[in-house]
Structure 1
Amino acid sequence: MTRTALAIRHVPFETLGTFEEVLEDTGYSLRYADVAAGDIAALDPLAPDLLVVLGGPVGVYEADTYPFLETELALISRRLAAGLPMQGICLGAQLIAAALGARVAPTGIKEIGFAPIDLTDAGQRGPLRHLVGLPVLHWHGDAFALPEGAELLATTAVAN
């Protein structure tokens, strides 16, 4: 049986990268929904087996300028309330944190480039353990508080 994964993207050139192959190898059929291409309000957040919300060059707190953010927050909130699997990358993680009531704000520091991440003990026990010592791309200037009940898995030298 094929499982479905839906990735919401905010810029047309962004993909899941190497994670696409991992999903396909584990039996997922992947589809992208582009925020700029249409109304994401029509998406059913409960339909896919996995929902992934990708990054973008905006902040969660910019909903006055980017009204789609409110729609996305509502979609994410429905998914969270249903207890269904979801992954957030960059802006996606910020949106999930905000939907869970956590504060999201600019840090005042831009973190751009390739650098390693620092894994917590919990992070070293999960799939992120494969990233130990590997530089990963950072391109952000925002941070969010850890939502209630969440566990920190990784951080960076800038965030420490």
Structure 2
Amino acid sequence: MRVHVLQHVAFEGLGCIEEWVQSRQATLSFTRFFSDHENSLPATDLFDLLIVLGGPMSVNDQTEYPWLAQEKVFIQQAIAARKPVLGICLGAQLIAYSLGAPVYRNRLKEIGWFAVEAMPNLPESAFAFPAQATVFHWHGETFDLPAGTIHLAKSAGCQHQAFQYQDYVIGLQFHLETTTDTAAQIVAHCADELAEELSKDQPYTQDDAQIVALTPQYSNAVNGLMNEILDFLAQAI
């Protein structure tokens, strides 16, 4: 199996996904949009699974990040070629946009460890989330559900937390790949954003100490859930 990764910033990496890739004896390749030397996109026949990671930019920031336009087209092409695709945070928003849905600011940001709930009465073809899971969030935008998708999960702060397109595409607003190291990385690099949200006394924002303290408590469970999602998508290869 060949796994290709779209990475938007150096501090948001694969986390626990790298262990899953190793366990499947798969190969890894990257498009790193933040690097002038590693920002080319492969032909769709050169990978089997596409993973689109997160980042602090918006889907709508094409003026500042011109490569977003090319990336959206590439994701559309991968989906049209029936390549399994997983999108995380910004990655989920890019998938939603590529499937024709608008992406816009959510009424609240979610930063920290908060619960998501599985949607009821899902079809048998849908990935089954646990009834409730505490997961790691760092997002301020949301999206409408694209036509033809299945709504998988919601939270008190954001209605559209996860969705599935057919049996080979899943978008997650939250970060199941989170490890102690990846949580520390995002806290360090997004400290200004966190401080701004804390100054507003938002209901779904935790401070850095809370995030760091809660990560060991919840990371093993969310990493296991990430492995289940990757196994689900790998069935479509």
Fold agreement, TM-score > 0.5: yes
1:76, 1:96 within 8 Å by CA — same for their partners in 2? yes
Larger C-alpha radius of gyration, 1 or 2?
2
1-structure distance, mates of 2:81, 2:97: 17
Aligned partner of 2:25 in structure 1 is 27
76-85 or 22-31, which deviates more: 22-31
Q: Is the partner of 2:107 in helix, strand or coil? A: strand
Post-superposition Cα deviations, 1:61-95, rounded to whole Å, max 9, x if no partner, equal 11112111101001111111111111111111111
Structure 1 position 158, deviation (Å): 0.5
Aligned residues: 156
Aligned partner of 1:8 in structure 2 is 6
Structure 2 gaps of 5+ residues are 160-237
Alignment of 1:72-91 (within 5 A): 72-91=71-90
Q: Which residue identity lines up with residue 19 of structure 1 in the other structure? A: I
- Alpha-carbon distance change, 123 to 26 in structure 1, aligned in 2, over 3 angstroms: farther
Aligned partner of 1:128 in structure 2 is 129
Aligned partner of 2:49 in structure 1 is 50
1:45, 1:76 within 8 Å by CA — same for their partners in 2? no
Percent identity reads 36
Query: Once superposed, what is the RMSD of the aligned Cα atoms?
Result: 2.1
Q: Which residue identity lines up with residue 149 of structure 1 in the other structure? A: G
Instruction: With the length of structure 2 as denominator, give the TM-score of the two structures.
Output: 0.60
Q: Is the partner of 1:118 in helix, strand or coil? A: strand
Instruction: With the length of structure 1 as denominator, give the TM-score of the two structures.
Output: 0.87
Matched, 1:17 2:15: yes
2-structure distance, mates of 1:32, 1:135: 29
Q: Which residue identity lines up with residue 53 of structure 1 in the other structure? A: V
